Chains A and B, each alone.
Chain A
Amino acid sequence: MRTADRLVVRTLRHSGPWLYVLVFTSLAGSLGELALPYVLGRTVDTLVAAGPASRTWLVTCGSVVVLIALCDILGVWAAGGGGARATRWLRLRILRHVLGVGPAMTRRFPEGDLVTRMGVNADETGRGPESIVTGAALLVPTLGGLVALVLIDVWLALTLVAGLVLIALVLRAFLSTTTSLAGDYQRTQADIAARLVDALSGARTIAAAGTEERERARVLDALPRLRAHAMDMWRTNAQAGVRAGAVVPLLEVAVLGVGGLRLAAGDLTAGELYAAARYVVLGAGLGAALGHVARLARARAAAGRLAELTEVPVTAHGGLPLPEGPGTLELRGVSAGVLSGIDLVVPGGSSVAVVGRSGAGKSRLAALAGRLADPEAGRVSLDGVPLPDLSAEALGAAVGYAFERPVLPGETISDAIGLGVADADDRESTVRAAARAACADGFVRRLPLGYGTPLREAPMSGGERQRLGLARAFAHGRRLLVLDDATSSLDTVTERQVSRALAGELRGRTRLIVAHRAATAAAADLVVWLEEGRMRACDTHARLWRDPAYRAVFQAQETVRAGTS
Chain B
Amino acid sequence: MRAVGGGPVRGALLREPRLLLRLCAWSVAETAPALLVGLAVARAIDDGFAAGRVWTGFAWLAVLGGAWLVAAVGARQVVLTVGAIVEPFREDLLGHVVGGALRRSAATGNGPGTAAVARANLQVELARDALASVITVVRSFAFTVVSVMLGLGALAPEVLVLVLPPFVAGLCLFLVSLPALARRQREFILTDERTAESLADMAGALRDITACRAERRVADDLGRQVRLQERAGRALAGVTALRTASLAVGGWLPVLLILVGTPWLVRGGAGAGVILGALVYVTQSLAPALGNLVQGLGMSGVKLRVSLERVLRHGAPPLPAVERRTPEDAGVRLRGVRFAYGPHAEPVISGLDLSIGDGDHVAVVGPSGIGKSTLAALVTGVLTPDAGEVLVGGVPAELLDPASRVLIPQEAYVFRGTLLENLTYLAEAPAEAVEEAVAAVGLTALVTRLGGCSAEVDPGLLSPGERQLVALARAYLSPARLVILDEATCHLDPAAEAVAEEAFARRGGTLLVVAHRLTSARRAGRILVMDGTDVRLGTHDELLASCPPYAELAGHWNPAETQELVP
A residues near B, CB below 8 A?
40, 43-45, 47-48, 50, 54, 58, 61-62, 65, 68-69, 72-74, 76-81, 83-85, 87-88, 91-92, 95-96, 98-100, 102-103, 105-106, 111, 114-115, 118-119, 189, 192-213, 215-216, 218-220, 223, 226-227, 230-231, 234-235, 237-239, 241-243, 245-246, 249-250, 253, 256-257, 260-261, 263-264, 269-271, 273-274, 278, 281, 315, 370, 372, 392-393, 395-396, 399-401, 403, 406-409, 419-421, 442-443, 445-450, 453, 459, 461, 463-464, 472, 476, 488-494, 496, 561, 565
* Cross-chain contact B105 with A200 (CB below 8 angstroms): yes
| Contact code string B46-88 (vs A, CB < 8 Å = 1, else 0) | 0011101010011001001100110111011101101110010
Taking a contact as CB atoms under 8 Å apart, the answer to whether B83 and A231 are in contact is yes
Which B-chain residue is minimally distant from A402 (CB atoms)? B211
Known contacts A76-B237, A200-B117, A260-B45; is A446 also within 8 Å of B340 by CB? yes
> Can you sample 21 A-B contacts with CB below 8 Å?
A44-B279, A48-B262, A76-B237, A76-B241, A85-B234, A98-B202, A102-B206, A102-B207, A106-B206, A111-B204, A115-B200, A199-B413, A205-B471, A231-B84, A260-B44, A393-B213, A407-B205, A409-B214, A449-B345, A461-B368, A493-B553
Q: Please state if B259 and A203 are interface contacts (CB–CB under 8 Å).
A: no
Q: Is the CB of A88 within 8 A of B226?
A: yes
Chain B 89-129 residues near chain A, CB threshold 8 A: 90-91, 94-95, 98-99, 101-103, 105-107, 109-112, 114, 117-118, 121
Instruction: For residue A123, give the distance in angstroms from its CB to the closest CB of chain B.
Output: 9
Question: Which of B110, B259, B280 is the most central at the interface, judged by chain A CB atoms within 10 Å of its CB?
Answer: B259
CA distance A268 to B429 in the complex (A): 89
Distance (Å) between the CB of B341 and the closest chain A CB? 6
Specify which of B233, B284, B459, B552 is in contact with A84 (CB 8 Å cutoff).
B233
Cβ of B52 and Cβ of A47 under 8 Å apart? no
Assembly CA distance A40 to B41 (angstroms): 16
Minimum Cβ distance to chain A for residue B475 (Å): 9
Interface check B210, CB cutoff 8 A: yes
Tell me whether A216 and B402 are in contact (CB under 8 A): no
- Name the distance in Å between A173's Cβ and chain B's nearest Cβ: 16
Q: Which residues on A sit within 8 Å (CB–CB) of B206?
A: 98-99, 102-103, 105-106
Select B368's contact among A45, A420, A494, beta carbons within 8 Å: A494
Q: Which A residues are CB-close (under 8 A) to B272?
A: 44-45, 48, 269-271
Complexed CA–CA distance, A100 and B241 (Å): 39
- Within 8 Å by CB of A264, from B52, B112, B341, lies B52
**Chain A's interface: helix, strand, loop or mixed, by majority?**
helix
B219 at the interface (CB under 8 A from A): yes
A196 and B276 contacting across the interface, CB-CB below 8 Å: no
- B109 x A253 contact (CB < 8 A): no
Q: How far is the CB of B95 from chain A (nearest CB, A)?
A: 6
- From B234, B252, B346, B490, A445 is in contact (CB under 8 Å) with B346
Per the bound structure, the CA–CA distance linking A99 and B426 in Å amounts to: 52
Q: B440 at interface (Cβ–Cβ under 8 A)?
A: no
Query: A416: shortest Cβ distance to chain B, in Å?
Result: 9
Please tell me if the beta carbons of B566 and A491 are within 8 angstroms of each other in the complex: yes
B75 touches A106 (CB 8 A): no
Other-chain contact of A189, B44, B121, B405 (Cβ < 8 Å): B121
User: Which residues of the partner chain A approach B158 to less than 8 Å between Cβ atoms?
Assistant: none
Which residues of chain A have C-beta atoms less than 8 A from B556's C-beta?
Answer: 492-493, 496
Instruction: Identify the closest chain B residue to A213 (Cβ).
Output: B99
Chain A positions within 8 Å of B102 at CB level: 196, 199-200, 203, 206, 212, 215-216, 219
Q: Which of A79, A207, A392, A401 has the most CB of B within 10 A?
A: A207
**CB-based contact B111/A261 at 8 Å:** no
- Other than the given A83-B233, A238-B80, A264-B52, 14 more pairs (CB < 8 A) read A44-B275, A77-B238, A83-B237, A88-B226, A106-B207, A195-B416, A196-B98, A215-B102, A243-B72, A401-B208, A407-B208, A446-B346, A490-B368, A491-B566
Chain B residue numbers with a CB within 8 Å of A241 are 75, 79
User: Could you mark each residue 381-425 of chain B with 1 if its beta carbon is under 8 Å from any beta carbon of chain A, else 0?
Assistant: 010000000000000000000100111110111111000000001
B214 engages A396 (CB within 8 Å): yes
Across the interface, do B61 and A446 meet the contact criterion of CB distance under 8 Å? no
Contact between B406 and A73 (Cβ–Cβ < 8 Å)?
no
Q: Dominant SS at the B interface? A: helix
CB–CB B567/A250 < 8 A? no
Indicate if the CB atoms of A203 and B110 lie closer than 8 Å: yes
| B248 close to chain A: CB less than 8 A | yes
Q: Nearest residue in B to A263 (C-beta to C-beta)?
A: B49
Is B413 touching A227 in the complex (CB atoms < 8 A)? no
Residue B133, interface by CB 8 Å: no
Selected contact of B87 from candidates A84, A210, A230, A249, CB within 8 Å:
A230
For A206, list chain B residues within 8 Å (CB): 102, 105-106, 413
Closest to A47 in B: B262
Known: A205-B471, A256-B61. A115 touches B199 (CB 8 A): yes
Question: Could you tell me the distance between the alpha carbons of A399 and B211 in the complex, rounded to whole angstroms?
Answer: 8
Contact yes or no, A80 B234, CB < 8 A: yes
| Also in contact, A193 and B117, with CB within 8 A (given A61-B259, A65-B256, A216-B99) | yes
In the complex the two chains form, what is the Cα distance from A362 to B83 in whole Å? 59
Q: Known interface pairs A58-B259, A61-B259, A264-B52. Does A99 touch B218 (Cβ–Cβ under 8 Å)?
A: yes
A204 contacts across to B, CB distance below 8 A: 109, 377, 382, 407, 409, 411, 413, 486
Instruction: Please pick, from A92, A256, A463, the residue contacting B369 in the complex, using a CB distance under 8 A.
Output: A463
Whether B196 sits at the interface, judged by CB under 8 Å, is yes
For the complex of A and B, 10 pairs with smallest distance between CB atoms? A80-B237, A202-B413, A448-B342, A396-B213, A84-B233, A420-B214, A234-B83, A203-B105, A420-B212, A238-B79
Name which residue of chain B comes closest to A443, CB basis.
Answer: B369
Q: Which residue of chain A lies nearest to B53 when distances are taken between CB atoms in the complex?
A: A264
The residue in chain A whose Cβ has the minimal distance to the Cβ of B347 is A446
Whether, in the assembled complex, B6 has its beta carbon less than 8 Å from a beta carbon of chain A, the answer is: no
Centre residue among B101, B102, B199 by max chain A CB count within 10 A: B102
Q: How distant is the Cα of A254 from the Cα of B231 in the complex, in angstroms?
A: 49
Cα A450 to Cα B276 in complex, Å, equals: 74
The answer to whether B461 has its CB under 8 Å from any CB of chain A is no
Contact present for B402 and A238 (CB under 8 Å): no
Given contact pairs A204-B109, A461-B369, A450 touches B275 in the complex (Cβ within 8 A): no
B515 to chain A, nearest CB (A): 12
With an 8 A cutoff between CB atoms, is B344 at the interface?
A: yes
A207-B341 contact given A96-B219, A407-B207, A419-B212, CB 8 Å threshold: no
User: B460-490 vs A: 1/0 string, CB under 8 Å?
Assistant: 0000000000010000000000000010001
Q: How far is the CA of A206 from the CA of B273 in the complex (A)?
A: 73
Assuming A84-B230, A200-B101, A249-B33, is B205 touching A409 (CB within 8 A)? yes
Complex contact A95–B199 (CB within 8 A): yes
B491 contacts chain A at the CB level, 8 A cutoff = yes
Chain A neighbourhood of B58, CB < 8 A = 257, 260
Whether B565 is near chain A, meaning CB under 8 Å from some CB there, is yes
From the candidates A77, A213, A242, A461, name the one contacting B76 in the complex (CB within 8 A).
Answer: A242
Bound-complex Cα distance A241 to B222 (A): 42
Determine how close the nearest CB of chain B comes to the CB of A266; give it in whole angstroms: 10
**Most chain B CB inside 10 Å of its own CB: which residue of A74, A102, A461:** A102
Q: Tell me the smallest distance from the CB of B116 to a CB of chain A, in Å.
A: 9
A95 CB contact (under 8 Å) in B107, B226, B245, B341: B226
CA distance A102 to B210 in the complex (A): 6
Report A-chain residues with C-beta under 8 Å of the C-beta of B490.
565
B279 and A274: CB pair below 8 A?
yes
**A459 and B408 alpha carbons, distance in the complex (Å):** 20
Asked if residues A212 and B223 are in contact (CB atoms below 8 Å), the reply is no
Q: Does B344 contact A450, Cβ atoms closer than 8 Å?
A: yes
B213→A257 contact, CB < 8 A: no
Residues of chain A within 8 A (CB-CB) of B212 are 396, 401, 419-421, 472, 476
Q: Closest B-chain residue to A460, C-beta based?
A: B369
A314 CA to B532 CA, complexed, in Å: 48
B201 CB-CB contact with A under 8 Å: yes
As a 0/1 sequence over residues 330 to 363 of chain B, the CB contacts with chain A under 8 angstroms (1 = contact) are 0000000000111111111000000000000000
B307 within 8 A of A: no
Beta-carbon contact of A202 and B44 below 8 Å: no
